[in-house]
Amino acid sequence: MPQPVSRLAGHLLVECLVAQGVTHVFGVPGESYLAALDGFHALGDRIKFIINRQEGGAAFMAEAHGKLTGRPGVCFVTRGPGATNASIGVHTAFQDSTPLVLFVGDVASDQRDREAFQEVDYGAFFGPSTKGMAKRVERIDDPARIPEYVARAFATAMNGRPGPVVLVLPEDMLTRTVDATPLPRVEAVQAWSDPGALRQLRAMLLASQRPFVIAGGGGWTPQAAQALQRFAENWKLPVGNAFRFQDTFDNFHPLYAGDVGIGINPRLAARVKESDLIIAIGPRLGEMTTNGYTLLTPPKAAQKLVHIHASAEELNRVYQADLAINATMNAAARSLEVLTAPPSVVWEEWAGACHADYEANLVPQPLPGLPVDTPRGVVDMPAIVAVLQKHLPADAVLTNGAGNFASWVHRFYRHHGLAKGFKTQLAPTVGAMGYGVPAGIAASIVSGRTAFTIAGDGDFLMNGQELATAVQHGGKSIIVLLNNGMYGTIRMHQEREYPQHVSGSQLNNPDFAALARAYGYAGVRITRTDQFEPELVAALARENGTLIEVTLDPEVITTRGTLSAITEAALKKK
């Protein structure tokens, strides 16, 4: 074991991150952790500090890193405003079950509890609880214990249900001299399925007529996804992916039934409801995956429910399961793949029909009431997604924030995903706007793979400044920005509830292509479908990033309907 060396506590902190395998840290610098910044300078050949433009973007990048790698993303921010700005990334990591560690520089110890400059009670603000934003919030007062706190933060972030941990760093603590040694790299602990529960699950399957698997949530690896696929193949089970975890099961597989989330295929929703056995592997079964708790009715679903989750606290919290299994995804999937299947099953035809429903949903239908030259507007979004499918490599990382714009790739783009060895979807199940742009940049910087982002005009403006971060640190993302001049999702709901009363949802936008060029990206604008493919091909070949602004008819509000049709239906109800 290495001998302790006397150095600044801020340097020891960075050494502890290196010991945990951290290669990239995202953050906005602050005077409250200058000693740690000096540690990044000292170890600059082993760890990179990615300089962000706003703490929300930094926290989103760290969260995206955690999603992509399965190891905690790391973010550094300063006290008060820095921490509160970063809270959006912490909340996203919590609801999305993503490992993340946020370090917050704080006021000096001798100034604490006086409402010193920018002082915040982080324990109260991030409040670890089932309704909080973090799994754990701790303050490091003794620099000799830095290795202990860092190792525990990584273990807490990864074990059970993955999630965020906040570590608070008093400014004076970081400047003290300390003799301590980093602890070894922490690995996630695997919780294995109870053999008796597996036997019960097999009996429930044998008694079923229409079983259905919903897979998603945090903690999946390529090995786990491959084991899930073998389990599905052995038992001929239809599989749906939970909301914004569409890369958990290969979308090209003949047993894939579609994504169970916002804008769900109506046929798939009906299949979930008519199933007599739901096997939920990994997801929390939250509001979005259950379509407002209607596909499965709490607290006791009409279907028999097997819920497999890494956190014992999550099991039976919302839904009382007929069988609850506390297991991590790697362990659960590997247990399931060796569960002996019978020679034939009664639901094989039903499983095929579930996949046929998914295939049918990939065929776009004309949107009524658009007096333009194609059935879906001058820009045909399904055709745009088809071009993406044609040209993006299979390991491309697709990112998005929140808004109706994301529904085009959610419905029409098909992920090979984890079963082929790659995490390919980074999207916030928490529904946070502004996530896609920084997530795509982080994916490019960390992985070097093709990073594609679809954004809305309102969504882009929340973190578009991070294009400067991409250019500074060699990130290259391709952004398709759909500009319809409004907060489209809110306008849609507005027309449903208060038709023709437009308020607070209009946007007066900048020249996005020119803005991208000002940051150092290539920036182009298209107004017709046929202009898109050559621009995408050029973007893929370019060394720097590209923003392609797409002028979208405001009428094209969802993949299934128009704004005027929503308004007309609402007026009839009135």
Predicted local confidence at residue 130, as pLDDT? 63
Distance of CA 564 to the CA centre of its chain: 32
Going by C-alpha positions, the residue among 559, 555, 528 that lies closest to residue 365 is 559
Tell me the one-letter amino acid at 247. D
Predicted local confidence at residue 574, as pLDDT? 73
pLDDT lower than 70: segments of the chain:
1-3, 129-130, 368-377
Separation of alpha carbons 49 and 472, rounded Å? 12
Separation of alpha carbons 166 and 133, rounded Å? 9
Helix 195-206 to helix 329-336 angle (10° resolution) is: 50
CA atoms within 13 A on the CB side of 410: 29
Separation of alpha carbons 570 and 498, rounded Å? 8
- Cis-peptide into 283, omega within 30 deg: no
Separation of alpha carbons 217 and 245, rounded Å? 7
Predicted local confidence at residue 369, as pLDDT? 64
Q: How much is the CA Rg of the chain, to the nearest whole Å?
A: 24
In 216-342, the DSSP E strands lie at 239-242, 256-260, 277-281, 304-309, 323-326
Separation of alpha carbons 454 and 434, rounded Å? 11
Structure-block tokens of residue 28: 């906005």
Predicted local confidence at residue 206, as pLDDT? 98
Non-local CB neighbours of 543 within 8 Å, separated by 6+ positions:
476
Helices (H), 189-257: 195-206, 222-235
Tell me the one-letter amino acid at 222. P
Going by C-alpha positions, the residue among 17, 186, 161 that lies closest to residue 101 is 17
CA dist 213 → 232, 304, 343, 425 (Å): 8, 12, 20, 20
Complete domains list, the chain, with CATH: 5-180 (3.40.50.970), 195-360 (3.40.50.1220), 364-573 (3.40.50.970)
Question: CA dihedral defined by 340, 342, 346, 350, rounded to 10 degrees?
Answer: 50
CA dist 181 → 19, 40, 149, 416, 440 (Å): 10, 17, 13, 42, 35
Going by C-alpha positions, the residue among 135, 126, 117 that lies closest to residue 72 is 135
Helices (H), 46-168: 55-69, 81-96, 122-126, 146-158
Q: Which residues pair with 101 in a beta bridge?
A: 74, 165
Predicted local confidence at residue 119, as pLDDT? 85
φ/ψ (deg, to 5) at 479:
-115, 125
CA dist 306 → 278, 320, 505 (Å): 6, 9, 42
Predicted local confidence at residue 10, as pLDDT? 98
Structure-block tokens of residue 407: 């529904």
Question: CA dihedral defined by 441, 443, 444, 450, rounded to 10 degrees?
Answer: -120
Predicted local confidence at residue 268, as pLDDT? 98
Structure-block tokens of residue 159: 């074990």
Predicted local confidence at residue 531, as pLDDT? 96
How do residues 251-296 score in pLDDT, each as one tens digit? 999 999 999 988 899 999 999 999 999 999 999 999 999 999 999 9
What is the model's pTM? 0.96
Separation of alpha carbons 322 and 324, rounded Å? 7
Going by C-alpha positions, the residue among 229, 201, 204, 203 that lies closest to residue 215 is 229
Q: How far apart are the first and last CA of the chain?
A: 75
